[in-house]
Amino acid sequence: MSDNSGNRRVRVRFAPSPTGPLHIGGVRTALYNYLFARQHGGDFIFRIEDTDTNRFVPGAEEYILESFRWLGLKFDEGVSFGGSYGPYRQSERRDIYRKHVDMLLDAGKAYIAFDTPAELEAKRNEIPNFQYDATTRMQMRNSLTMPADEVRSLVDAGEQYVVRFMIEPGREVVVDDIIRGRVVVSSSILDDKVLFKSADMLPTYHLANIVDDHLMEVTHVIRGEEWLPSAPLHVLLYEAFGWQDTMPRFAHLPLLLKPEGNGKLSKRDGDRLGFPVFPLEWHDPKSGEISSGYREKDYLPEAVLNFLALLGWNPGNDQEIMSLDELVGLFNLEKCSKAGARFNYQKLVWFNHEYILRKTDREVAELFRPILEEKGITASIERIETAVSLVKSRVNFVHELWDNSYYLFQAPAEYDEKSLKKWWKEDAPHTTAELCDFLESQDDFSGAVLEPKVMDWIASKGYPVGKVMNAFRVTLVGAAMGPQIFAITDFLGREETLRRARHALSVLS
Ligand code: GLU
pLDDT digits (tens, 9 = 90+) for 374-426: 999 999 999 999 999 999 999 999 999 999 999 999 999 999 999 999 999 99
Calculate the CA dihedral of residues 255, 256, 262, 265 and round it to 10 degrees. -120
Is the CB of 85 inside a 6 Å radius of any atom of ligand 1? Answer: no
Q: Report CA Rg, the chain.
A: 33
Q: How remote is the CA of residue 222 from the centroid of ligand 1, in Å?
A: 10
Angle formed at CA 211 by CA 205 and CA 212, multiple of 5 degrees: 85
Pairing of strands 77-78, 110-113: unpaired
- Calculate helix-pair angle for 447-461, 485-508, nearest 10 degrees: 50
Which class is 267-355 in CATH? mainly alpha
Q: What value does the mean pLDDT take over residues 224-250? A: 97
* Residue 334: Cβ-neighbour burial (10 angstroms; 0-12, 13-18, 19+): exposed
Please give the CATH number for the structural domain made up of 417-508: 1.10.10.350
17 C-alpha to ligand 1 centroid (Å): 7
pLDDT at 449 over 80: yes
Mean pLDDT over residues 106-123, rounded?
97
Residue 120 clears pLDDT 50, i.e. is over it: yes
Q: Is 227 in the pocket of ligand 1 (CB under 6 A)?
A: yes
What's the rounded mean pLDDT across residues 211-217? 98
Task: Evaluate: CB of 49 within 6 angstroms of ligand 1.
Answer: yes
Could you list the active site residues? 267
- Residue from 11, 49, 52 whose mutation best tests the ligand 1 pocket (most atoms within 8 A of CB): 49
Name every residue whose Cβ is closer than 8 Å to that of residue 233 and which is 6 or more positions away in sequence.
Answer: 165, 167, 190, 193, 206
pLDDT digits (tens, 9 = 90+) for 477-499: 999 999 999 999 999 999 999 99
Ligand 1 geometric centre to CA of 112 (Å): 26
**Assigned architecture for domain 359-409:** Orthogonal Bundle (1.10)
Assess whether pLDDT exceeds 70 at residue 100: yes
pLDDT at 2 over 50: no
* 247-259 average pLDDT score: 97
**One-letter identity of residue 344:** N
Q: Look at residue 5 in the predicted model and tell me its pLDDT.
A: 53
* Pair 242, 109: CB distance under 8 Å: no
Which pLDDT tens digit goes with each residue over 328-364? 999 999 999 999 999 999 999 999 999 999 999 999 9
User: Residue 341's beta-bridge partner residues?
Assistant: 256
Mean pLDDT throughout 151-176?
97
Query: Where do the domains of the chain lie?
Result: 11-78+209-255, 94-203, 267-355, 359-409, 417-508
Tally of CB atoms within 10 A around 312: 23
CB-CB contact of 167 with 187 (8 Å): yes
Amino acid, single-letter form, for residue 219: T
Instruction: Kindly indicate whether the domain formed by 94-203 is annotated with CATH number 3.40.50.720.
Output: no
pLDDT of residue 7: 82
- pLDDT higher than 50, residue 3: no
Q: What is the mean pLDDT of the chain?
A: 96
Q: What is the predicted pLDDT for the residue at 6?
A: 63
Ligand 1 contact, 28 CB (< 6 A): no
Instruction: Read off the pLDDT of residues 54-74 as tens digits, 9 standing for 90 and up.
Output: 999 999 999 999 999 999 999
CA-closest candidate to residue 374, choices 413, 417, 406, 330: 406
Q: How do strand 256-257 and strand 202-203 relate by DSSP bridges?
A: unpaired
Q: Supply the pLDDT for residue 509.
A: 79
Ligand 1 nearest atom to the CA of residue 213, by list position: 9
Average of per-residue pLDDT across 265-283: 96
Q: Can you say how many angstroms the Cα of residue 133 is from the centroid of all Cα atoms in its chain?
A: 39
The percentage of the chain sitting over the pLDDT mark of 90, rounded to a whole number, equals 98
Amino acid in position 59: G
Q: Which CATH class is domain 11-78+209-255?
A: alpha beta
Sign of CA dihedral 288, 291, 297, 300: negative
